[in-house]
Structure 1
Amino acid sequence: MNNITIIGTTIDTLTAVGCLAEVGFKVKFVCLNTKLLKQIKNGNLKLVELEVQTIFEAQKNNIQLSDNIDEGLKDSDFIFLYFRSDELSSVEKILDKKPKQIIVNSSVFALGENEKLAKKNDKFVVFPNFIIKGKSVKSFKDPDRIILGGNEKYTKKVAQLLTPFYCKNRLTLMSIASSDLIKLATNAMLANRVSFVNEIAQIATQIGADIKTVCQGLGADKRIGHDYLNVGTGFGGYSLDYDVQGLVHSSKNFGCSTPLLDSVLTSNNHQKEVLFRMLWRHFAMDLKGKKIALWGLSYKPNTSSTANAPSLKIIDVLLAQGVNVIAYDPLVKKNENIKIATSAIDVLNDVDALLILTEHKEFFKPNFSKMKDNMKQPIIFDGRNLYSKNKMQDLGFTYYYIGGN
C-alpha cells in the first residue's frame, strides 16, 4: 500500500485525508492552516459538514499529523496539494525543495500557472478538485469523473492510486492545459446556467408567467435537465464566482475576449440586488427607519462561508438606505455590520419584512403562525422560492418571490 502525504490549508484537505485513509493508505497530513491545526490537536474540531468531520476523526489512527513540510516529504510515494488560489507561492516553495515523489496538485490556479509549475518538476500531475461543498465526502468518494493532467507516465500511476474512487469510464487522462480549462470551464458553465434562469425569471415576472412551471418545462427536456435551474439572488462562494472571474482574467492574459462570461458576471451582480429592488418598490422607495430581517447569510446551504454571498450586497444597500437590518443564519454566527439573532423566529420581532437569502433546511417548514405573530407586517420577499404563493396568501402573508410577481 502506498504512503501519501497531503499538504494544504483548505477544508477540502480534510476530505481528501479522511477518504484516502479510509481505503487503507497511510496518510501524512501536513496542515498549514494554523487555526485548523490547533482545533485538530486540541480535539475540538468543529466543521459545518458533519460527514467530513466524522470520516476524518474515524481515521485518526491512520493519519500522521504535522505542520512540517520537510517531515511530510519523507518516505511518501505521492504528495497531494490543496491550496487556495491565492497561495501559488506556497506550492512553488514546495517544488523548490525538489521532491522526488509524484506531485498531485488539486489547487485551482489561473490558466497557465500549473504548466509553469510542471517545469519545476516533471512528475507534476494536475487532479482538478471537483469536491462539492455540502456534499464533500460523497463527491470525493463517488465523483462524476476523474480528470488527470500531465505526463502520461505519471497520470497513469495516479489513476492506479485512485482506483477505489472511480469506474474506468469516468477517468480521462489529458494535458495540464486541458485539465485546467475543464475545471474553470465547468464552473463557468454552471454560472452561466444560473444567470440564464435568473434572467428568464425577470421575463416571467413581466409577462405574467410563473418561473416555477417554466423551469419544470425546461428541465423536462433531456437535453437541458433540472440541475442548476433554481432561480435565486445570484451565485456566490469561491467556486462559481472566483473561478469565473479567474477564467475571465487569465483568458485576457492570453489575448482572448470573453464577452459571454463578462455578461454572466454583470448579470450576477445585478441579480444580487433583486430582492432589494422588490422591497424598494413595495415600500414606495422609502425604506429609511424600516426594520428588515434576513434569513440566511451564507452563499449556499450547509456552509458557513459568506464569500461573495448575495447577503453581503443586500446588507450594504439596505444600510445605505437607513434600514435597521437584523439576520439569522444557523451556521453564520457573526457579521461586523449587523446584529445576528439566535433563532429564525426571534429575528422576526417587530420587523417590517423578511428577506430569505439562503435555503437552509429549517426555513422550508417554519412555524408560519409564530412568524406572523412576531412580524410587524407579515411581508416576505423570498429569494429562494421556498413556498407556494397561494398557501402564503391564504395564511395572510404578502408574499413576493422571484419570477412570479
Structure 2
Amino acid sequence: MLLTISVSVLLLILTFGPWYAYAQPNHHSSRLLVGMTLVNIDRAAALGAYCLDGSLPAYHLHRGFGAGARNWLLQFEGGGWCNDVESCLERAITRRGSTRYMTKFEVFSGILSNNHSLNPDFYNWNRVKLRYCDGASFAGDSKFDNGTSLLYFRGQKIWQAIISDLLPKGLAHAEEALLSGCSAGGLAVFLHCDSFTRFLPRNASAKCLSDAGFFLDATDISQNYSMRSFYYDLIALQGVEQSLNSNCTTSETDPWQCFFPQHVLGYINTPFFILNSAYDVYQFHHILVPPSADLHGHWNHCKNNITVCTENQIEVLQDYRVEMLKAIYPFYKKSITGGMYINSCFAHCQSESQDTWFAVDSPKVHNQAIAEAVGNWYFERNVTKLIDCPYPCDTTCRNLIV
C-alpha cells in the first residue's frame, strides 16, 4: 500500500510538475494559495485568445467578502518580453509562454493578500492575478506560422478574454476597481488603463496602479538606445501598434514611442498611480547597463552589490535617477488625480511582496509605507506624490539586487 501511494505521488509530480507541492495543505503557514482558472475554451476560441504555444490563457481569482464583495483588483503578472521568433519560440516552452508549464496555484501576498493587517485597504476585494503568456505586455495581436513553427501573439485578445470571463463573475457590477501590475505587467497597466474603465459600470470608481512599469526611453552607458531598439522589434513582430493609445499614436512622431510610459502617460484619462524605484534594478541591469554595453564586465561587481560601486558608477546611477524624475515631472506637476511613490531602494516590483508592500520594516517615504500611500491615493484621503531622497540616504530600503 505504501509503495502504491509513493508511485502515485511520483506520477503526479512527473505529470503536473512542481505545482503539485503547492496544492498540499500547509498547516504551519498563513500563505494564501489560489488555484488557476483557465479561460472558457469557447470564449478563447471565439476571440482567438491563446498563449504563445496555443494553450488557453488563465488567471487566479480569490473572492472578496463583506464590504469589499463588489470591489475588484486585477493584477497583471510580469515576466519580460520576446522580440524575435527565436526568443519567442524559447519562451513558448516555459511558464512565460504557456499555461501548461505554469504553477497551478499562486501565493497571494502584498496587495493580493486577504489579511487586513497585511493589506488594510484591499484585503476583502475580489483579487485577480492575470497570468502572462504572450511576451508583449498583453498587447500583441498577430500570429507567426512558417509551416514548421507556430506562435500566437495574442496578448490583446488574452486581456479581452479574461475580462469577458470575469464580467459574469461580478466584474460587470463592480463599484470600486483597481487595475494593477508589476514589471511587464506594470507596463500593461499603462497600455490598458483607459480601456479597462470601458468594461465597468458608468458609476464605478476605476483607477490604475503601475508597479515597476515605468521603463525609460533612455540611452545606455554606451549612448545607444538599446531598449528602444528592443521594443521597436517587439512591436513589429507581435502586431502591438494597433493596441497602442490612439491619441498618443496620432500625436507622437513615431507610434513605437507610445509603448514607453513616459510618452503615453499624458494621454491616459483614468486616475493613475506610479510606484517605482528611482534605481529600478531591472532598468539598471537591462536599460542603463545591458550586457551589450558592458562587454568586459566592468559593472558586474556593482550590479551584484551596490556597496562596491565606484564613485563614477554611483554618479551614472544618480544621473539615471534624475532622468527618470524629469520624465515623470510633467505628471507630477499637472495631474490632479494622479499619485506616485518613487523610492530609492534597489528593487524591482514592490506591491506583491509583503516585505515591501506593508510590514513593520517595509520601506517608507515621508514615513509612509507603500500600501499606506496607495490606499490614501485611491480613497482620496490625501494627495500622495512622494519622491525619496537620493541613494544612500533612505535607511528603510530593502536593497534587493536581482
What is the TM-score normalised by the length of structure 2? 0.25
The structure carrying a bigger helix percent of its residues is 1
Higher relative contact order (CA 8 A, sep 6+): 2
Which protein is bigger by CA-based radius of gyration? 1
What is the TM-score normalised by the length of structure 1? 0.25
